[in-house]
A and B are shown apart, each in its own frame.
Chain A
Amino acid sequence: MSDRSDRGDGQPLDRLNPMRLGLRHQLGLVGLVGLGTLPLVIDATFALTLALAYFWGVYAMSWDVVSGYTGQISFGHGVFFGVGGYTSALLNLGYGIDPVFSIPVGALLAAVAGLIIGVPALRLRGPYLSLVTLVAPLILVQVFIFRSDIFNGEQGLSSVDPLFGLSTFGNETAFYYVALGLFVGVLALLLLITRSDAGSVFTAIREDEDAVAAAGLNPAKFKIMAFVLSAAIGGLAGAVIVHTPSGNASPTTLMSVTVNVEVIIAAILGGMGTIVGAGVGGILLILLREQLSKVAWTVPIIDTPVSDIDFLVFALITLVLLYALPGGIVRWVIELGGQSVAKLRGRDDVAADGGQTPLEQVYDSYAEWFSGGDDDER
């Protein structure tokens, strides 16, 4: 193991030079600049909707870095949004601590929660993490209801201070930028990490943990890192959102079963295991839901307005999309884009595709585990 150490030179930074990025990355940058200028043309209500959408983008990206990359599915990411959000709200309400200081503490406690849940569950092989994360948020919600004197039960905590002393009415644009800033910051951080060596170890774990160990890498260490990072970012998003008009420290905003499920749906729809896809998925999920709740049209036979059954319609659309685009929207767009570029350039050599989608890989490894057939060498 002589020559395995790091030596610094300029190349990694060179890779981040926008002029040398590929076409789709340049388009992505243009898109972000577009989002940055959007408040010039939209009204306050839509700015707040988009702010909520960015928070959901962060939720979904935080889920993706552990579940999309390492294949360890978390069914209860709301726990971390909840720990972050309630911590920051309680510190602010109880001790008058400014959100600027209470938010990092919320993220930190969420990371600690990630360690407590992740270390025992991830040192084992198999989907233990899924089982633990399935019950963890239920327990937390019950505790919050049981100790309503502190957590105010289902209602949650309101009238916490808004971030930066902004005012809920009149500062919509500022909140828009807070949410967008968080989104872009988290996107950049997670892209950096998943495009570094750790990212390729994460996806290798999703493929085959034994092969990773045989390569001299400790799978548990990398899984725990991904999970704690994910918990911290989820906690950060939860902590910030309670200090904005987009949400408050309540189970509905942070940790209901619906939240837990929708985060997964958002990431898978957008493109599991790509970070960008999850971020886009989170944004689209909120925009779609918001659109549906405004549809006044009445479904004939059952005589119900769409806005009353928006969640059902949303779930149906999701199902159709999952079947049609199992790799997620972003992968599909990139493929389409790649094909048209190739056509424009007069080639249509389709690149070999890299085996299964992450969703299929996870399904296979879970199925294998539940059928007890991990040892295929006889």
Chain B
Amino acid sequence: MSAETASALDPDDGLLVLDGIVKQFGGLTAVDDLSIAVEEGEILGFIGPNGAGKSTTFNCVTGRYPPTSGTVYYDGEDVTGTDAHRMVTKGLARTFQEFRPLEDRSVRENVELALTPDKLFSLQGLRGETRQRAAAICERVGLGDRMEMLPDELPHAGLLRLELGRALATEPELLLVDEPFAGLSGPEVESISNLLSDLRDEGLTLVVVDHNMRGLLSLIDRAIVIQFGAMIAEGAPEEIKQDPTVQEAYLGGDEL
């Protein structure tokens, strides 16, 4: 399947639907008329060379900034331009590609923040319950033995796990994971892949970004490839690998 077939989408075509999203920074078009439907329960690979507009697309969806034009639907509802924290309460969580832990507190306390109710007066944190739930989430993402460390004591893979833990603590239905595999060793890629596919088996829908197919091939159900902010291919992972447009996009640059 190639890009031409992607036409205007319906709000109910998936859990998350992007319809004609455009994002411009001054004269630069970072996302160019992108339409995507994420189906409930799938793991969608969102692939493109560096600078293709993947993170920008995430930012438009998660409310970091609004798209220049186009519509975002979540659960059939128009959520274009909704604030970031509102999107999280609706069930859509994200991780940051550049990792943004709170450096002033331990790993566990970072997760606790995401368990804190969005209420002005709450003493929940003074009780042991939040602490235990945070500890359980740390275990879940593989930081069980490191939860009293400060983020700057964690290795790269540990920071990624912390991003995942903090996102999971918001109890999402849909998780957007931005370039988890960049900078990880082979065994680490496998371990994170396993974690993500376990999460899917528990009912989570996932969109996983990468700049190449490494680590994604066995994980994802479906892939979308973008270049210069526009979709160039969509389909099963093996099909994508053989797609001539995709191969051309990666010629001379990143490895697919």
- Contact of A215 (CB < 8 Å), options: B51, B83, B97, B169: B169
A218 neighbours in B (Cβ, 8 Å): 83, 85-86, 118
Identify which of A36-44, A219-227, A326-334 touches chain B.
A219-227
Q: Please judge, given known A-B contacts A216-B170, A354-B104, whether A200 and B116 are in contact too, CB under 8 Å.
A: yes
- A215–B114 touching, CB < 8 Å: yes
Interface residues of B in 62-83 (CB under 8 A from A): 62-64, 83
Q: Please judge, given known A-B contacts A197-B124, A214-B96, A215-B88, whether A204 and B113 are in contact too, CB under 8 Å.
A: yes
Q: Please judge, given known A-B contacts A214-B167, A355-B103, whether A200 and B118 are in contact too, CB under 8 Å.
A: no
- Contact of A354 (CB < 8 Å), options: B105, B113, B178: B105
Per the bound structure, the CA–CA distance linking A332 and B180 in Å amounts to 40
Number of chain A interface residues as a range: 35 or more
- Contact of B120 (CB < 8 Å), options: A9, A210, A215, A222: A222
Interface residues of A in 206-241 (CB under 8 A from B): 207-208, 210-219, 221-222, 225
B96 neighbours in A (Cβ, 8 Å): 210-211, 214, 377
Taking the complex as formed, is A6 at the interface, i.e. its CB lies under 8 A from any CB of chain B?
A: yes
Per the bound structure, the CA–CA distance linking A12 and B122 in Å amounts to 11
B150 neighbours in A (Cβ, 8 Å): 352, 354-355
B104 neighbours in A (Cβ, 8 Å): 203, 207, 354-356, 361
For the complex of A and B, list the 9 residue pairs with the smallest distance between their C-beta atoms, beginning with the closest. Answer: A216-B88, A213-B84, A215-B114, A355-B103, A197-B122, A197-B125, A12-B126, A213-B85, A207-B102
Q: Give the B-binding residues of A (Cβ under 8 A).
A: 1-7, 9, 11-12, 15, 195-198, 200-201, 203-204, 207-208, 210-219, 221-222, 225, 352, 354-356, 361, 376-378
Interface residues of B in 87-138 (CB under 8 A from A): 88-89, 93-94, 96-98, 100-105, 109, 112-129, 133
B201 neighbours in A (Cβ, 8 Å): none
- B113–A215 touching, CB < 8 Å: yes
Smallest Cβ-Cβ distance to A8: which chain B residue: B123
- B127–A204 touching, CB < 8 Å: no
Per the bound structure, the CA–CA distance linking A3 and B101 in Å amounts to 24
Taking the complex as formed, is B161 at the interface, i.e. its CB lies under 8 A from any CB of chain A?
A: no
- B125–A4 touching, CB < 8 Å: no
A222 neighbours in B (Cβ, 8 Å): 120
Task: With both chains docked as a complex, state the minimum distance between the C-beta of B48 and any C-beta of chain A, in angstroms.
Answer: 13
Apart from A214-B167, A221-B118, list 9 A-B contacts with CB within 8 A: A196-B121, A197-B122, A198-B121, A210-B100, A215-B85, A215-B88, A215-B116, A215-B169, A215-B170
A204 neighbours in B (Cβ, 8 Å): 102, 105, 113
- B100–A221 touching, CB < 8 Å: no
- A208–B102 touching, CB < 8 Å: yes
Taking the complex as formed, is B188 at the interface, i.e. its CB lies under 8 A from any CB of chain A?
A: no
A12 neighbours in B (Cβ, 8 Å): 123, 126-127
Interface residues of B in 132-170 (CB under 8 A from A): 133, 150, 152-153, 166-167, 169-170
Smallest Cβ-Cβ distance to A11: which chain B residue: B127
Complex interface bits, B200-231 against A, C-beta within 8 A gives 1, otherwise 0: 00000000000000000000000000000000
Taking the complex as formed, is B197 at the interface, i.e. its CB lies under 8 A from any CB of chain A?
A: no
B166 neighbours in A (Cβ, 8 Å): 211, 214-215
Of B84, B93, B105, B112, chain A has the most CB atoms within 10 Å of the CB of: B84
- B117–A4 touching, CB < 8 Å: yes
Q: Please judge, given known A-B contacts A355-B103, A377-B98, A378-B51, whether A213 and B83 are in contact too, CB under 8 Å.
A: yes
